[in-house]
Copies of this chain bind each other. A is one copy, B any other.
Amino acid sequence: MTRRPTIKDIARRAGVSESAVSFALNGRPGVSQGTRDRVHRVAEQLGWQPNSAARALSGERAGCVGLVLARPAHTLGVESFFLQLVSGVQEVLASRKVALLFQVVEDIDAECALHRRWWAEKRVDGVLVVDPRAHDPRPALLSSLGLPAVVIGAPAAGEEAAALSTVWADDSAAMASVLAHLHGLGHRRVVHVAGLPGLAHTERRISSLRTEAARLGLDGARSVTTDYSDAEGAEATRRILDGPEPPTAIIYDNDVMAVAGASVAAERGIAVPAELSIVAWDDSALCRVTHPRLTALVRDTSGFGRLAAQELLDRLDGAPVRDIQAELPHLEPRESTGRRPG
């Protein structure tokens, strides 16, 4: 139950004023090198750390950034994406001693309310925004509050990202590469089992599928949307396979649905990849542990997080808004894709 040391303690032991201590510890001019060293030594010895509340109060930063995840609770924990992203984010933040406030909420209204509260409470210096969507209310809100933010993922087509930086991967090009792969294997009827309809990247992938399919002359290509859960992924797969002219290849928007789809095929005795090819968007342990292993679109998710965190820190340091493109995801062919049957 030790008492926390303060700069007052340091000042007393070093025989200087509190202001001198503050100057010394923050590398500001106004103290001689000798005094500076002495103060640092005493601070170290006392194990002093700045009280974050006091810092935040005196006009400075809170030393903290926020990340809100607006997803219904039951769809959480099935995807590896977020923990990976967060771990990348933290690598960068931790190196600068910035903390991460993390919260899961039910929907986007709750998310907006939370941003507003964090701002009013002066709890965070900036926020990371994930899952950009069509008609997204968050960019406008955040810029009206003057809260620096970085959007992770490309905004919906046609929408300017207000005054927010964006870190994104080119989903359109990625979709094109998947279709090229399938087309090269002879597939002509392809279905895309997409994620949540409101999300910007979902719409982007859907529209890219359409234009790219038209270009390649794949006329059966279409998308269906889901909530990303294994249940809806399986259900969609059943409907697709039961429909007229079932496809010879299916692209799933996440790993969980892809595995669920593969399982439905197995259940029905449909051989993968002999009769049906499967591609997962986002690689994970999941894709490697199933049998056959799934061909997947690999992206460096934690690298993505690192990029976003770095950009947010830069923004806090006054850097201008930027638009950063992450490395293009690449396709990792495994055993779940093969030549078109017949």
Contacts and interface: CB of A to CB of B under 8 A. Distances in A.
A90 B62 contact: no
A298 to B, nearest CB: 14
Interface string A1-20: 11011000000000000000
Contacts of A123: 52-53, 99
Given A48-B120, A73-B302, A80-B78, A105 B101 contact: no
A341 interface: no
Interface stretch (A127-135, A152-160, A256-264): A256-264
Copies of this protein in the assembly total 2
Nearest to A288: B230
A contact face: mostly helix, strand, loop, or mixed: helix
A208 to B, nearest CB: 26
A144 B47 CA distance: 15
20 contacts: A1-B145, A47-B120, A49-B120, A51-B57, A53-B123, A54-B57, A57-B57, A76-B83, A78-B284, A83-B104, A90-B104, A99-B101, A100-B103, A229-B285, A230-B288, A256-B289, A259-B289, A259-B290, A262-B291, A263-B291
Contacts of A291: 262-263, 266-267
Residue among A63, A77, A116, A267 with most chain B CB within 10 A: A77
A189 to B, nearest CB: 24
Given A51-B120, A78-B285, 9 more contacts: A2-B145, A47-B120, A48-B120, A49-B120, A49-B121, A51-B122, A52-B123, A53-B56, A101-B102
